[in-house]
Amino acid sequence: MSESKDFLRLKVEEDLKAGKYQNIVTRFPPEPNGFPHIGHAKSICINFGIARDYQGQCNLRMDDTNPTTEDTKYVEALKDAVTWLGFNWNGNVRYASDYFPKIYDYAVQLIQMGKAYVDSLNEEEIREYRGSVTEAGRRSVYANRSIEENLALFKGMKEGKFKDGEHVLRAKIDMSAANMKMRDPLLYRIRHSHHFRTGDTWCIYPMYDFAHCLSDYIEGVTHSICTLEFENNRDIYDWVLDALELTPPRPYQHEFARLGINYTVMSKRKLLELVNGNYVNGWDDPRLPTIAGYKRRGYTPESIINFCEQIGIAKANSMVDVAQLEFCIRDDLNQKVPRVMCVLDPLKVTIENYEGEEEIDASYYPHDVPKVGSRKLPFSREIYIERDDFMENPIEGYHRFTPTQPVRLKHAYILTCKEVIKDANGAIVELKATYHPDSKSGADTSGIKTKSAIHWVSAKHAKQIEVRLYERLYKIDAPENVEDLNPDSLHVNTHAFIEPAVISEKVDVRFQFERQGYFYADPMDYTDEHPVFNKIVGLKDSWAKKSEAPKNTPKAEAKKAHIEGDVAPMSTEELARFERYTALNLNTEIANTLARDEALSHFFDETLLHVKSPTTLANLVANEVARELKKELPLNFGATEVAELVMMLDEGVISSKIAKEVFEAIVHTGEKPKAIIESKGLKQISDPAIIAVMIEEVMAKNPDNLAKYQAGNTNLFGFFVGQVLKQSGGKANPTIVNELVSKKLNHG
């Protein structure tokens, strides 16, 4: 029994070992009275995950016992959430209403056993009779009714002879119980309301505590997993099943801590208030924590599942930082999406010494992303740059474009500013510049030193788009009501410009806009005539910096529109390291990370003496090694081990994913990378013949998606690549997989 397993899985294993159950059956039992949120995602992952891990089954069951709040649209939203997250429920969707006749029979049985009675107290009297934590309750005088009278009244309730609230059915347990939920809890109430499934067949409906445990029993559920707020309800759960003397095996309830995230509300009541009050644009508003909201914003199922796995399963409630969820989507998209250029706040630049047009070949992916693909970037005399990438009177440490400081255009040339043109109000409306013909990226012989590279688009060729920029919905970390809403949670930018290939070639639906963040083509509003992109998440978490930034200081005013991730100016030593690293063709973000950390920089430089592969090494050091150095503990590895790992990565012996696994093993054991790879059989699969067989198997298992791809849904390309990599256990060479999947899909 592994100590790394959570307490729920340990309980399942204990029950299996003891022979308590032959097969594991779990269930996800939401009430269809709202759209599912990220807390439901955690429950979905737990219930479906346990069923998967122990070769069991998980049922999807709607707890539709309250006709006044439930609706088919919520059922569909719940089904969609489970499917989108990648899980399959056992058989058909189940409903508590499927079991209404059987549950009614169980209620009659309790009456016949003298364990339930019809009470005629009103709601206020029932509350008064229940007592308090320090005072025992009083049993209703109606509890003395005979079994025959109770049966007749309950039948009359079922036949619609009484008004709402005139009678209720209660369990006869203990009015002095320490657990107040056990003080003769309600089992049935009268509701003359139309039910979305059963129509007007019923006018009495079972309470959650009565219907839930019996539905579990009827379905053969073994482990009824719910959140901690139902901990006190467990006594009722057990009482009902025991009182009815049901044939074993029977289910047992187990509780885990519900998910709480700062800057977020997950109360259905509060979410409904936001939707009905038009504080947001429907249940799928990208600012909401609903699955539909995350889906429309551009989050991936993998990022949500990874988040749920990272936070784990605990027995005590706690608050999770929303930054952890944002990290998961960044981490997922970083290895998947194309990098493109989009200017959100355009400033026109006229390059006076450039004539004509040209196309620049630019890769969609950096060196450390195992994907291939490129596009043609049109370049012309007039371009747009980001307005805050130019500063006429630069502050200390500003490394972009100024009247005296040249700058590199990403993938293109170096520019020098010649003139600043302003309007009548003194606002900058255009820059005049010259370019250096011998400074083209990849073939630069100009000798000009620049401190940064900026993104740009050709004014003639760029496509105008709408960009929806989202911030957190609430302005405080523990919101209570609508007064805590952030008034600046949505900015709609209709004057952004993007490079044309994004619209014309449609290589993906998610992109990293260079130096801006990750964006998603809105699935509802996007058209080629009016492209709309939602901001998924920024490149770095700048929320804390924004909220703590000093107000109205000259420096703060100058940096109002700063790019996310801007930090304090580099020292002379750091700047020297930064220039040395960018000269090695490291991307600016990695170079910046290494340059600013002396220990990290030293490790990188030392390892570089053993392996001449700066890009691969830099990515490994800036991510994996940096994490270990922050722990300030003795290291089980040094430059030689990391160099050996880098060489095997470059030679294609292992993939990036395997490299991370090997590095983790090095950290814990201190073994040499080659020994770890040999002992664990982790060599990368690069044989095209073996990979081709995997591709055939994946396509044979997914005929529906294959048909959809062939019908024009090319977004499924990533699905097939992911399935092949999954089938190989992450060992298949991603570049070869991409190439062979493309050939198979497009040429048969």
Those residues with Cβ within 8 angstroms of residue 222's Cβ, 6 or more apart along the chain or in another chain: 15, 20, 21, 23, 24, 25, 26, 56, 249, 251, 252
Peptide bond into 734 cis (omega under 30): no
Catalytic residue selected from 5, 13, 31, 661: 31
414, 450 in Cβ contact below 8 A? yes
Q: Pairing state of beta strands 346-351 and 382-386?
A: antiparallel
CA 212 to chain CA centroid, nearest Å: 30
Question: In the annotation, is 258 catalytic?
Answer: yes
Q: Give the C-alpha separation, 323 to 429, whole Å.
A: 37
- Provide the token pair at 707: 């048909």
Q: Give the C-alpha separation, 724 to 729, whole Å.
A: 9
For residue 483, which amino acid is it?
A: E
In this structure, the chain runs to a length of: 748
- Provide the token pair at 599: 């220990």
Q: Give the C-alpha separation, 60 to 56, whole Å.
A: 14
**Which of 14, 86, 84 lies closest to 54, judged by CA?**
14
Q: Give the C-alpha separation, 663 to 322, whole Å.
A: 28
Q: Give the C-alpha separation, 139 to 10, whole Å.
A: 41
Residue 68, CA atoms < 13 Å, CB-side half-sphere: 8
Catalytic residue selected from 268, 468, 472, 515: 268
32, 227 in Cβ contact below 8 A? no
Question: In the annotation, is 268 catalytic?
Answer: yes
DSSP state of 645: H
**Which of 22, 16, 15, 25 lies closest to 90, judged by CA?**
25
For residue 359, which amino acid is it?
A: E
Catalytic residue selected from 258, 559, 660, 744: 258
Q: Give the C-alpha separation, 207 to 269, whole Å.
A: 19
Residue 313, CA atoms < 13 Å, CB-side half-sphere: 24
Q: Give the Cβ contact number of residue 48 at 10 Å.
A: 25
Helix (H) or strand (E) holding 502: helix 501-504
CA-atom Rg of the chain in angstroms: 31
Question: In the annotation, is 31 catalytic?
Answer: yes
Q: Give the C-alpha separation, 519 to 511, whole Å.
A: 5
In 27-181, which ranges are continuous DSSP H helix? Answer: 38-53, 72-84, 100-112, 123-129, 147-158
Q: Give the C-alpha separation, 478 to 480, whole Å.
A: 7
**Which of 7, 434, 34 lies closest to 225, judged by CA?**
7
454, 518 in Cβ contact below 8 A? no
Catalytic site positions? 31, 258, 268
